[in-house]
Structure 1
Amino acid sequence: MIKVYLVDDHAVVIEGIYSLLQKESDIEIAGYAGNGANCLEYFLSHTADVILMDISLPDMNGVDLCKTIKKNYPGIMVLALSTFNQGTYIRKMMENGASGYLLKNAGREQIIEAIKLAAKGKTYLSFDAGQALKSDEQRQNAIPPLTKREKEVLLYIAEGLTNAQIAEKLFISIDTVDSHRKNLHTKLNVNNTALLVRFAVENDLL
C-alpha cells in the first residue's frame, strides 16, 4: 500500500485528488495540509511514502518545503503538482530532491503513474513539464559564460551599488566597473540595469 500525503492550499484540489485516488486499491491517502508548516508538523509524528505538493503555498514555496522534507526524511518521495510550467521551477524542484513534476491539468492515469514510480524511487515528468525543462536547459546553455569579475560586478549591481561603490569594494577603477557593466549588457542582451538584474534573477546568475 502506497501512503500519499497531499499539500495544497486549495480545498477543491485536495478533494479532486482524493476523489481520483480513493478508488485505487494500492494507494491510501495518509492525510493533507493546506500549508508547509502543517505538513512539517504532521511528519514529526507520522510518515508517508509519497508527498504530492503544490509549489505555491501561503507560508513557503514548494522548493524550500521539498528541500526540508528530503533533508529530514530522505525516504519520503516528493512529487510537485503545479500550474507553473516554467523550466526554472521544475529544475529547482528536481535539484532539491523531487521525484517528479506534474501540471494540475494532468489526468488520473498520469497522477497514478507518477505516484507509483516515485514510490519505487523512480522519476516522473509529465510531457509538458519535460518540454519546459528541456527548453530551460537550452536557454541556460545559450547564455554566454561570465567571468569571475563580471559575476562579482553583477552581484553588486543587483544589490543596488553604484559604479563608485563597486569600484571601492573590488579595489578597481570606476572605468573598469563601467567596462564590466557594458560587457554584461552586451553578453546578456539587455540595455538597462533593471533588465540586467531581472535577467540575472530569472536565470539564476546571482
Structure 2
Amino acid sequence: MSMIRVGIADDHPVVLQGVSSLLRTQADIDIRFATGRIGELLELLLDDPVDVLVCDYEFEMDRHADGLNLLNRIRRTVPHTRVLFLSSHSSAYIVSAALDAGAAGFIGKRHEEFANLAAAIRSVNNRNVYVPDSLRSRMMSASANGSNRAGWLNRLSEKEATVVRMICEGLSISDIAGRLNRSPKTVSNQKNAGMKKLGARNDVELAKVMREAES
C-alpha cells in the first residue's frame, strides 16, 4: 500500500486533535507532523516534506497567515505539496480565490464535510481538486455572475459597497447610519444585501472576502 504523507496545521487545539485522531485510523495515511504555529509549520515542511498539507485557512495568532497570503508562503516553501484548506469560512468567493491561487482543495469544518476528510486527502493526492458538493453548488451559482475579483465587487451597488466597507472598518450599524444620514434599517438592509451578493454568512467572512477582493 502506498502511504500518503500528511501534515496538519491548525491553531485550534481541539481541531488539531480531532483531525489527527480521525486520520490515524486510516491505513494509507501517515501523519508526519501536526502543529498550531505558522513558523514551525514552514520549518517542518522543509525538514519533512509531505504529499498533502491539511491546513486551516486562517491562523489568528499571525496576522500575515490568512488566506491567499498563507497559501503563497507555503507554495514558495514547498511547491510540490498539495494544500487542502480546512476552514469554517467557506464563501464561494473565498473558495474560488484559494483554488485559483493554487490550493488543491477546500473542505469545511462542519461534521458532514469534515467526515470526508480522508477521502479529500486521497483525492488531492491523486492530483484532483477537491470541493464538497455543498460548496461546489455555491461556486457554480456565483460563477454565473462573474468570478474575477473585480466582478465580485461590481455586483454591489454604490450604497451597498459603502456600507460593506464601513462594516469591515469596524463601524456599527448605528454609526454608519449617523455618518451616511440613513436609517439603521436601511443600512442593515444594504449590509445584508451586500453579504448575500458576496456569499458571506457573517461579518468575519465578509471582512475576508473584501480584504482579498481588494488586494
Report the TM-score, using the length of structure 2 for normalisation. Answer: 0.67
CA RMSD, aligned part only? 3.0
Is contact 1:2–1:28 with CA below 8 Å preserved after alignment? yes
Which structure 1 residue ranges, 4+ long, deviate > 4 Å from structure 2? 141-145, 196-201
State yes or no: 1:125 paired with 2:131.
yes
Identity %: 25
| From 122, 138, 142, the counterpart of 1:136 | 142
Q: Distance in 1 between matches of 2:149 and 2:16?
A: 39
Change (3 A) 1:144 1:84: closer
Q: Distance in 1 between matches of 2:140 and 2:90?
A: 12
Is contact 1:53–1:62 with CA below 8 Å preserved after alignment? no
Is contact 1:117–1:124 with CA below 8 Å preserved after alignment? yes
Report the TM-score, using the length of structure 1 for normalisation. Answer: 0.69
Which AA in structure 1 matches 2:89?
F
- Asked which structure has the greater CA Rg, the reply is 1
| From 68, 84, 97, the counterpart of 2:89 | 84
Question: Per-residue deviation at 1:22?
Answer: 0.7
Aligned residues: 166
**Structure 1 partner of 2:159:** 191
Gaps of 5+ in 1: 146-153, 155-183
Question: Per-residue deviation at 1:125?
Answer: 0.4
Which AA in structure 2 matches 1:64?
N
Gaps of 5+ in 2: 167-193, 199-208
**Structure 1 partner of 2:58:** 56
Q: Distance in 2 between matches of 1:26 and 1:99?
A: 19
Matches within 5 A, 1:1-206: 1-58=3-60, 59=62, 60-105=65-110, 106-108=113-115, 110-140=116-146, 188-191=156-159, 194-195=162-163, 202=210, 204=213
Q: Distance in 2 between matches of 1:133 and 1:74?
A: 26
